[in-house]
């Protein structure tokens, strides 16, 4: 289990937060996730064997939010 933080481009509508959170909740391998509105960040705890960090990033990008960095 690892926890990563992704920095997104500025998220400005609360429904974006709901969208990303909903997507992560339905993604297999994601244990816990939180989208921070003001700092435009996403905390994700996930099972490395089931899911890669790259996959998470591409899923977020597919929703229309550019991932600027990860930590």
Helix then strand then coil, in percent of the chain rounded to 5, is 30, 35, 35
Question: What H or E segment, with its residue span, contains residue 19?
Answer: helix 14-25
Our finding on whether 28 is near other proteins (CB under 8 A) is no
> Is residue 12 near other proteins by the rule CB under 8 A?
yes
Q: Pattern 49-68, binding to other proteins, x per CB under 8 A? A: -------------xxx-x-x
Report how far residue 7's alpha carbon sits from residue 5's, in angstroms, rounded to the nearest whole number. Answer: 7
Q: Does 4 bind other proteins (CB under 8 A)?
A: no
> Which residues of the shown chain bind other proteins in the complex (CB under 8 A)?
9-10, 12-16, 18-19, 22-23, 26, 36-39, 41, 62-64, 66, 68
């Amino acid at each position: 289990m690892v926890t990563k933080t992704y920095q997104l481009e500025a998220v400005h509508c609360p429904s974006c937060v709901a969208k990303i959170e909903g997507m992560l909740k339905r993604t297999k391998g994601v244990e816990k996730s939180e989208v921070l509105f003001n700092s435009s960040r996403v905390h994700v705890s996930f099972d490395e064997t089931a899911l890669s960090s790259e996959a998470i990033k591409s899923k977020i990008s597919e929703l229309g939010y550019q991932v600027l960095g990860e930590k």
